[in-house]
Every structure is written in structure tokens, then in C-alpha cells.
Amino acid sequence: MMRRHASRRVAYLAASTARRATSTAAAQAAAAPAASDKSAQVIGDVHKYEQFVQLDNEAYVEELLVKFKEDRMSVDSSWWPILEALESGTPADIAMIKGFSRPKGGGPVNEADEQRIDALKFAWMVRSFEQKGHLIADLDPLGMFDADLSPSLPPELQPSFFGFNDSEMDKTFRVDLTSRVIGSFTDGTQLVTLRQVVDQLKKTYCGYIGYEFSHLRSVEEQCWLRDMIHNPPKRLLDRHPLLDSLVRAEGFEKLLQAKFQTMKRFGSEGGEAVIPLLQVLLDVLGDAGFENSIFSMAHRGRLNILHNVLGKDLDLILNEFKGLTLPDNKNNLGDVKYHLGHQAEIETLNKHRMHVEMLPNPSHLECVAPVSQGYVRAMQETAGKGKTAHVVLHGDAAFSGQGVCFETMAMAELQKFGVGGTVHIITNNQVGFT
């Protein structure tokens, strides 16, 4: 039932706040119904219960509705307007206050009420981009799937959907959102044009990164992610070492392709950017006080990471291609080269000393993920929980299709298995193979 009324959840918010209008002008308008516009609504202060009127809490609201039908006195009176709206059975495509459009004729009572309505409309638009912006994000750098993607905004993300019109695109509004969200649109002020807000939302949620987090049930997690998206931490990086590592990663693959054309190597072509990514990640972990980093991954790109991140000697890798191994090599498990692991003491870009280790993975699947998590938990028991980080690299198709990935995450919070969090890196080189 709640899904049938989903399109009206913003209207319920307006209905529940409209009853709290307190201005004198609003009271005068109510006293003269013949002369006033019946569609005029005054939006009062946001009520503490309004955050619950969303699909994430449909079961809770459904339970309240059942109690309300039996005995309305068993439900807090602040819920009555919302539950009455649900019980009335208004068709799902008819909103009680359509798109927060300003009433014609009477209009808002005063400037404060107008700003409050605009703030609700802006908040609704930001929420919609959070929910659906990723659907049109530019996630196809090679242009392979243009037929399946459209760069144009769908109707539910158009400004007109939220009650704005074309003449308001360059109008300056005073937006009453949280200061952290406003900061991504302006330079700390609340004055912003509608065009500026729409452009920034498209850049943030429809650019080269797609964010999908509105399904999370934890309000704290949603707020943290929203803050990181709108106000990413500024990290000063020297790009020259990162460019150098990217060139080395590409050169490594070209060398192996030239020398061993007929041999399997599961190269990282299309995903070389993971090399500088891991180097920055190790810097961040070092800054946070971690002393050990444990990696696990399948085959694709493993040799490149072993050499350019963990520092495995190139001569050793080339000898493994030739079938030669050193007898004193403790990582020699008699397996193929792209199954082997490595461990080393390295220095990060920020001069942190860190122990890094790639666990061997003898399976074609990603079965090493739960093994590495148990390995990290054992190290945390001896070295301390704030000392060892867990990093798992996945292929895009493997992460989507192999049950072991989700089974491992399902066990992540077990009392004797959890490690306090894992960094998951999914490499999409649009190959869809391991």
C-alpha cells in the first residue's frame, strides 16, 4: 500500500506542516474563505516526524496506519494529517499540493513563507538527484553503450517537476539547506540561482561518478556520505609521482605483451588507474596510523600491482614467465605466476613505512576474500585493531556475479570475524572477465 502512495510522500510532508501555520495574515485569510484562495498553504517549521515519511520506513508507517484505523488516539496527533491522507485513498498520481507550486492569486503570506516553500522545493530536488542522478551518470568512458544511456535529464529531475518554471532559472533564491550542502553551491552564502543549483547537482550526481546511497537505513551513514559528496576532503597531491606510476603500469603491460605474447598474464589494460589509486590509498592509511595493509584480489591486474605497488622484483616476475624460480623464494608455492602473493616493507608517497601483503589466490574465483578477512582479523588480534587495514579488489563482473563477495560481506559484522571495515575496489575495464 505504501508504494502506491510513494509519489505523494512530499505532499504528505506539506500536509503535515500546513496545519501549523501561525502567522496573523494566515489566520485572517482563513477567516475569509470566500475571498481567499483555497489552494494557499502556509508551510510551518519542519516537524520532527517528517523525516520518517519516506519509503525507507514504509513498514513503520503502515503499522501506524493500522493503529490509526482502529483507534486514532493510540497514535500521536502529529501523525494524524499524514495518516488521514493515506486513508483517504487519493489517486497516487494526484498530489495534494502538486510540486509545491506557489498558489495563484493569494500567493505566500509573506517573504518568510515564500523562502520556506522554496527551501522545501530545493530540498526535494536535491533528494531526487540523490536517488536518480546515478542513472544518467557518465560511466561509459569508451562510448561502447551510447545506445543504452541518455545524457538528458529525465522528467522527474527537471526543475519544472518541482514547481519551478523557465523564467526562474536565473532568479536568485535564498536557500535554507544545511550549511554543508549550501557550501557546494555557493561560497558560503545562501544566495544562489536556480540554474546554479541545477548545474551543480548535474555535476555532482550525473558526472563521472554515480552515487547511490538513498537506500541506506542509517540516517547517520546517509548524512556522512552526503557530506563527503558535497564537500570532499581536499588533499594536496603531487601529481608527478601519480603520473609516473600510471606510465610505469602501462609500460609494464606493454613489456609483457611484447615478450610473452602467447602466455596468459591477465593484464590490467583499461584499469591501469588502479595503480595510482592504491598508492594514494596507502598514503591515506598511513596518515590514519595503519602499519599493515593486506590485499586480496583475483587474477586480472595482479602482476602489475605486485610489481608497481608491492615492489616485487621485475626479474623474478620475468623468470616466472620462463618457468624459472629461485629456491630461496618463500613465496614460491609451485603455482602459476598470477596466483602467487607477495609481501614487502614499502615507503608510501608521504614517507610512511608500511608492511603490505598480497595473499595468494589459487582459485579462478574470488574465494580469497573471506580468507583475507580472517587473516586480517588474526593480525588485528595481535597487532591491534587500528593497525591493520583490509583491501579487496574485485572485477566488475565478478563482484556482480560471484556469491562469495556478498557472502563475505554478510559475515563482515560477526563478532569473531569482523575487521572494522574493508576497502572494496571494483575495477571496471568493460571486459567483464575475471
Q: Which three cell numbers, joined as nine digits, stand for 233? A: 576532503
Q: Determine the pLDDT at residue 118.
A: 77
Q: Determine the pLDDT at residue 17.
A: 37
Q: Determine the pLDDT at residue 99.
A: 39
Instruction: Please state, in angstroms and rounded to a whole number, the distance separating the CA atoms of residues 165 and 188.
Output: 26
Q: Are 148 and 92 in contact (CB under 8 A)?
A: no
Phi, psi of 340 (to 5 degrees): -80, 160
Q: Determine the pLDDT at residue 122.
A: 80
Q: For residue 60, list its beta bridge partners.
A: none
DSSP for 222-253, written as a single string: HHHHHHHHHSPPP----HHHHHHHHHHHHHHH
Residues with Cβ within 8 Å of 410's Cβ and at least 6 positions away in sequence, in order, are none
Q: Which three cell numbers, joined as nine digits, stand for 306? A: 605486485
Nearest to 229 by CA among 256, 243, 210: 210
Consecutive sets of 10 residues in the chain, 434 residues long: mean pLDDT of each?
A: 39 38 37 40 39 54 82 80 69 37 48 73 85 84 62 81 86 65 56 85 88 88 87 76 90 90 84 91 91 91 91 87 68 71 88 91 82 92 85 87 87 87 85 65
Instruction: Please state, in angstroms and rounded to a whole number, the distance separating the CA atoms of residues 235 and 380.
Output: 28
Instruction: Please state, in angstroms and rounded to a whole number, the distance separating the CA atoms of residues 119 and 409.
Output: 38
**One-letter identity of residue 223:** C
Q: Determine the pLDDT at residue 317.
A: 86
Q: Which three cell numbers, joined as nine digits, stand for 308? A: 608497481
Global pTM reads 0.66
- The owner of cell 568512458 is 141
Q: Are 326 and 332 in contact (CB under 8 A)?
A: yes
Q: Are 339 and 299 in contact (CB under 8 A)?
A: yes
Q: Determine the pLDDT at residue 14.
A: 37
Q: Which three cell numbers, joined as nine digits, stand for 168? A: 526562474
Q: Which three cell numbers, joined as nine digits, stand for 384? A: 591491534
Q: Determine the pLDDT at residue 149.
A: 56
Residues with Cβ within 8 Å of 154's Cβ and at least 6 positions away in sequence, in order, are 132, 135, 136
Instruction: Please state, in angstroms and rounded to a whole number, the distance separating the CA atoms of residues 372 and 416.
Output: 14
User: Which residue ranges form the domains of the chain, and what is each CATH number?
Assistant: 58-88 (no CATH), 111-230 (no CATH), 239-326+335-427 (3.40.50.970)
Instruction: Please state, in angstroms and rounded to a whole number, the distance separating the CA atoms of residues 14 and 330.
Output: 68
Task: Give all strands (DSSP E) within 180-283, no chain letters.
Answer: 191-193
Nearest to 97 by CA among 23, 166, 12, 155: 12
Instruction: Please state, in angstroms and rounded to a whole number, the distance separating the CA atoms of residues 192 and 171.
Output: 8
